[in-house]
C-alpha cells in the first residue's frame, strides 16, 4: 500500500494494520496432519489496514 492513496483513519484493531488475518486450516501433507496458515483479507478494514470511520484522537 502506498502512502499517496492512504486515507486518514485509525489502525484496524482486528488485523493490527496489516490488512490480512491469519486463517489456520487443518491439512494432511505427506500423510502427516499439519496446520496450514492462510492469510485472508481482513473483513473489518477490507485489506487497507485502517478503519475508515474511526479517527484517532488529536
**What is the pTM (predicted TM-score) of this model?**
0.60
Percent of the chain's residues with pLDDT above 70: 78
pLDDT at 9: 72
pLDDT of 1 > 80? The answer is no
pLDDT at 10: 82
pLDDT at 6: 56
How much of the chain is helix, strand and coil, in % rounded to 5? 0, 40, 60
For the stretch 13-39, pLDDT in tens is: 899 899 999 999 999 989 999 999 999
Amino acid at each position: 500500500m502506498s502512502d499517496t492513496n492512504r486515507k486518514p483513519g485509525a489502525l484496524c484493531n482486528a488485523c493490527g494494520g496489516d490488512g490480512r488475518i491469519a486463517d489456520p486450516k487443518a491439512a494432511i501433507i505427506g500423510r502427516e496432519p499439519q496446520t496450514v496458515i492462510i492469510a485472508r483479507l481482513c473483513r473489518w478494514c477490507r485489506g487497507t489496514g485502517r478503519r475508515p470511520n474511526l479517527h484517532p484522537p488529536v
